[in-house]
């Protein structure tokens, strides 16, 4: 991924908006709102002195902190903003702290974003976004919405998982006739947003923690979601999304030991959740015998004692809460295995689910009932990460396991319906939203502490698939499993095999406009199926017949080698080449392009009920004056074609078989 060259118009639009709305001397008012003691924030802050501190983070970022303090009540409000000097991006977070000795008045309806975007009288806005992950074929499905005068559209995730649900994707692109603004939120909890169009006033956009109606105790501090805006000019929304991808890669990806996440392959080390140490070693050796050298060896759930809880058989892994190694199944723990992995220059990943306490007989449930938040009884209560003692214990305990067992990747899951019912149920009177806010701060502090104590550690974010992938989470973790909707019907009968593979093609189509890095797992060696799962973090799962079938082993190895070749290019720019579709009578395809390297590829699928055997695909982002060496992956024949011809006339593809997947690579000569 490369740096973004300055766009004068984009940067001018950002500067114009900042001068109108950001703290300092805003022309049109501040871009956030709240009520304090029944008084609007605009009136309340107007009467308070403001102190401004400006500092340089690095060559490309300037931080501004504006502090207002009410001497009468002790309430302190801080707005910490960051301007990116070579991207048209501004971000901010608000903090509210009680520095007095008594409880504050009620803080209500805190909106981290509350502002207007204007258009000409005869223009209309389009709102672009995606569905969140729902563990269905429709996960990440793009949408484009129009507005009638006075119409309001609202969005929120499902039950506190920040990117779960059809309305649960906190990433938007609001487009006008000559540009737009991309907006995103960082809040691993229950956020809410709304867009209301008024032809006279403009588009009013609001966002924040969904429910805040609370007072602060002495010394207590809460915060808002992180808000990020990216301004763009022109009519090319795909270029705007690629500008976002580049900013996201540079500034919203976790940096570990001065490095961004690298493309990788990873493997699962169990046939079922009840397998133990012996199978882990067998699986690791089996992959190597198949010619697969993964970057990460992954042991998933149920390595802890799980046979004394309410869930039985194949569901016993749900009995969480005793975070110790089950020495009956893993008599040597994981250290010997992780040492072996490290000797090969590879990494070891271990699954955790520390928040949900599924086993009522677990050590946490029995020894620390005061740390439990009830309200999600179906899958167990949750550990209160807003409790300093509970948080401190969890940090120390998991940190110790990371160190003693040689863990390089901490994978965190969160199953069950979501934490929101427990948060809401445990809010005291006149403290609505406080449990969630302190909990979210605790969860982020937990991840920060693990990373600070273990400088080489990487975190994989999972919450029943891709349901907690907001901006703040993605600054600390990556989604190695973008959705649990990945397995064919022999593993999960509720999934229809005909659509699982097409669904994952469409997942890639939808999520790639927003995230440059994500992963999933493929369990089929067939070329059409395997290519549906190619992505920067590619998990290889051996099919059941791989030991008996040399053709299957060869197909698995071929898929692995193909994805290793392609993955670095997936971090480049993304261009949809067809409309989005889940229908089986369609083609779907896209292009990944690295203009600085002069390479990329197009990936195209002809689905099983399609009646068109050929198409021309017009490529994007090439040098029109350059010649490119173009080759169908798996074929030895190459063609030399100009960039102009590939973009204007297109590349002719004939696919006689169906279903079938084609990958065409190109390299600038």
| Residue pointed to by tokens 């199944």 | 329
Q: What is the DSSP string of 190-211?
A: -EEEEEEEETTTEEEEEEEES-
**Paired strand residues for 63:** 55, 82
Across 354-371, average pLDDT: 96
Q: What is the C-alpha separation between 168 and 454, in angstroms, rounded?
A: 32
Tens-digit pLDDT profile for residues 492-537: 555 555 689 999 999 999 999 999 999 998 878 889 999 999 999 9
Across 335-357, average pLDDT: 97
Residue-averaged pLDDT of the chain: 94
Using 50, 70 and 90 to split pLDDT, how confident is the model at 378? confident
The yes-or-no verdict on residue 490 having pLDDT over 80 is no
Helix pair 277-289, 335-343: axis angle to 10 deg: 20
What is the pLDDT, as a whole number, of residue 186? 99
**Type and span of the H or E element at 456:** none
| Three-class secondary structure of residue 309 per DSSP | coil
**Residue of 587, 589, 536, 588 whose CA lies nearest to 564:** 536
Q: Which position has the higher pLDDT, 496 or 609?
A: 609
Q: Say if CB 570 and CB 263 are below 8 A apart.
A: yes
| Phi/psi at 243 (5° precision) | -60, -45
The three-point CA angle 651-652-656 to 5° equals 140
Q: What is the C-alpha separation between 325 and 143, in angstroms, rounded?
A: 45
Tens-digit pLDDT profile for residues 306-317: 999 999 988 999
Using 50, 70 and 90 to split pLDDT, how confident is the model at 4? very low
CB atoms under 10 Å from CB of 583, counted, come to 11
Query: What domains lie within the chain, and their CATH numbers?
Result: 8-236 (2.70.98.60), 264-571 (3.20.20.70), 577-668 (2.60.40.1180)
Tens-digit pLDDT profile for residues 398-431: 999 999 999 999 999 999 989 999 999 999 999 9
Q: What is the C-alpha separation between 407 and 427, in angstroms, rounded?
A: 36
Q: What is the pTM of this model?
A: 0.96
What is the pLDDT, as a whole number, of residue 5? 42
Tens-digit pLDDT profile for residues 199-252: 888 999 999 999 999 999 999 999 999 999 999 999 999 999 999 999 999 999
Using 50, 70 and 90 to split pLDDT, how confident is the model at 86? very high
DSSP 398: H
């Amino acid at each position: 991924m490369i740096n973004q060259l300055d766009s004068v118009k984009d940067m001018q639009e950002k500067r114009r908006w900042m001068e109108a709305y950001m703290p300092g001397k805003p022309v049109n008012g501040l871009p956030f709102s709240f009520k304090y003691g029944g008084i609007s924030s605009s009136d309340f802050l107007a009467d308070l002195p403001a102190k401004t501190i400006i500092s340089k983070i690095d060559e490309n970022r300037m931080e501004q902190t504006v502090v207002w303090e009410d001497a009468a009540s002790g309430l302190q409000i801080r707005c910490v903003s960051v301007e990116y000097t070579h991207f048209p991006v501004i971000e901010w977070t608000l903090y509210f702290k009680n520095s007095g000795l008594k409880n504050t008045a009620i803080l209500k309806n805190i909106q981290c974003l509350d502002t207007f975007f204007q258009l000409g009288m005869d223009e209309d806005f389009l709102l672009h976004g995606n569905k969140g992950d729902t563990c269905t074929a429709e996960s990440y499905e793009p949408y484009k919405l129009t507005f009638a005068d006075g119409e309001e559209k609202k969005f929120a995730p499902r039950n506190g998982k920040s990117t779960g649900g059809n309305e649960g994707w906190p990433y938007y692109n609001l487009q006008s006739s000559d540009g737009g603004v991309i907006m995103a939120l960082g809040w691993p909890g229950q956020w809410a947003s709304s867009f209301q169009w008024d032809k006279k006033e403009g588009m009013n956009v609001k966002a924040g923690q969904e429910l805040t109606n609370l007072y602060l105790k002495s010394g207590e501090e809460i915060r808002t979601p992180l808000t990020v805006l990216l301004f763009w000019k022109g009519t090319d929304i795909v270029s705007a999304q690629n500008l976002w991808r580049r900013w996201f890669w540079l500034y919203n990806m976790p940096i570990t030991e001065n490095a961004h996440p690298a493309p990788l392959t990873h493997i699962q080390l169990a046939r079922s959740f009840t397998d133990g140490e012996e199978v882990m070693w067998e699986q690791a050796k089996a992959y190597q015998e198949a010619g697969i050298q993964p970057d990460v060896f992954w042991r998933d759930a149920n390595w802890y004692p799980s046979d004394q809880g309410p869930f039985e058989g194949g569901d016993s892994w749900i009995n969480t809460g005793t975070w110790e190694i089950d020495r009956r199944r893993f008599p040597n723990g994981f250290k010997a295995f992780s040492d072996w992995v490290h000797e090969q220059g590879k990494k070891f990943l271990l699954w955790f689910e520390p928040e949900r306490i599924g086993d009522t007989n677990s050590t946490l449930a029995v020894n620390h009932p005061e740390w439990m938040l009830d309200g999600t009884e179906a899958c167990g209560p949750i550990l209160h990460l807003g409790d300093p003692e509970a948080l401190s214990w969890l940090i120390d305990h998991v940190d110790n396991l990371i160190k003693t067992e040689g863990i390089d990747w901490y994978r965190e899951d969160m199953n069950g319906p979501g934490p929101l019912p427990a948060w809401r149920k445990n809010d005291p009177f006149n403290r609505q939203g406080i449990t969630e806010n302190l909990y979210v701060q605790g969860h982020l502090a937990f991840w920060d502490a693990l990373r600070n104590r273990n400088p080489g550690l990487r975190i994989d974010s999972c919450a029943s698939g891709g349901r907690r992938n907001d901006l703040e989470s993605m600054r600390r973790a990556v989604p190695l499993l973008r959705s649990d909707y990945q397995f064919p019907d022999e593993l999960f009968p509720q999934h229809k095999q005909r659509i699982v593979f097409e669904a994952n093609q469409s997942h890639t189509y939808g999520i790639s406009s927003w995230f440059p890095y994500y992963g999933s797992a493929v369990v089929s060696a067939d070329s059409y199926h395997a290519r549906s799962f190619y992505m920067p973090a590619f998990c290889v799962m051996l099919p059941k017949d791989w030991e008996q079938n040399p053709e299957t082993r060869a197909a698995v190895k071929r898929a692995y080698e193909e994805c290793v070749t392609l993955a670095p290019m997936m971090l480049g720019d993304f261009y949809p080449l067809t409309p989005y579709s889940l229908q089986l009578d369609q083609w779907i395809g896209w292009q990944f392009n690295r203009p600085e390297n002069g390479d990329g590829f197009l990936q195209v699928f002809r689905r099983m009920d399609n009646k068109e055997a050929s198409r021309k695909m017009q490529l994007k982002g090439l040098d029109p004056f350059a010649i490119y060496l173009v080759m169908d992956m798996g074929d030895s024949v190459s063609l030399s074609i100009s960039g102009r011809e590939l973009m204007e006339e297109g590349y002719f593809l004939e696919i006689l078989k169906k279903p079938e997947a084609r990958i065409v690579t190109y390299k600038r000569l």
